[in-house]
Structure 1
């Protein structure tokens, strides 16, 4: 059973790693930036090399004998490992990207494809923040709790800056052209993302060291309701407005 779980876990790491790599390369390619070949090789070779190691480390508990392994927490351990692995990588990508934006500032204002990549990236970041936020802190050391909280807040802060940037670009394109169903939908999604990320920062900083994860969970619950309401609005009322 553990061997099968290890293979499945390795496959999932490969899938999510490929998605992360595709979004990362898409962000830079959208701005016409070709990463050096050595970086590409390090990402692909290092990523593929880490997959079996991560799969085994996720499926097996090194402190327990094979006969006493836990067979009921495979997926939870997978999510735990994956999200905490992607958090620092996402932070690095966002930092590099924000550094590059001033040199390609007007690109999303001119190219629709870049805005699409931005929105895919922002939803991926929101999903990562949801997955990386712990349900409880009892299983984590004080050092891990602190690092996790700081990482979440930094990623949320950087993502909020890119969200405002993306919203400015779509508003500019709307003013220069006209309001369309797609543009209205994107404006709504971006606005919700900005509100959600802003609340994450505010409550994450304001809350105490023991309850910060609960405050973030409340924000995600609120954000989910906002997404559902906006989705219902798009399905029911948008066709009436643009008929």
Structure 2
């Protein structure tokens, strides 16, 4: 699932391609909007909100989309062949004389009144890359359920918006705790820096083509996707186990040498981690 920095980049590409220009092509390939035609309307702005995209269009309308696991928006110049998947996966086509934006596999696509955007994003916590960022409120949200594992709390977009599974794992590594540690047991000094550390990571990566948390090219991430390779710090084998429940389970990476706290058995092993 794309994280806040990736969605921010997508919003910027769409904004640069469409904002300030009148739509000359509009095709929403969702049964509910099959008869909707936005041609002749100017795109006012495309803005990210956490992991959501809001395309504001002249006439007080907003096209809301969410990429979830494998959705994508691609932008093409005239004459360029579209790429991003087969034609039957296209859910939206919006274009002007200079660029065409094509939305592939969009699981969420809805047209709202701009005044009703809160229906789509009003439940979100402070946006790590947004103007509404409030580290104190974000921390208060995280600590509201002290028994909840920190990894689950970080992924809950109602607490703070923009963190996905990669940043969840990397943040826990940088804090030196496992993702299964209850939020209430996070040392005070760690809790105090958590919101701004998360913001710092997303801000550092929002303009990069490759996400990096280590500060070193060639070794982009500390633990995510690295099991069972050696930890970059202590050389212990990085471990992976699922965290969450049902369809919300996510592969979660940690270093048993650098991170303290409870952990399950890593995949393929029995017993305590």
Give your verdict on TM over 0.5.
Answer: no
More helix by percentage: 1
More strand by percentage: 2
Compute the TM-score of the two structures, normalised by the length of structure 2.
0.28
Which structure has more relative contact order (CA 8 Å, sep 6+)? It is 1
Compute the TM-score of the two structures, normalised by the length of structure 1.
0.30
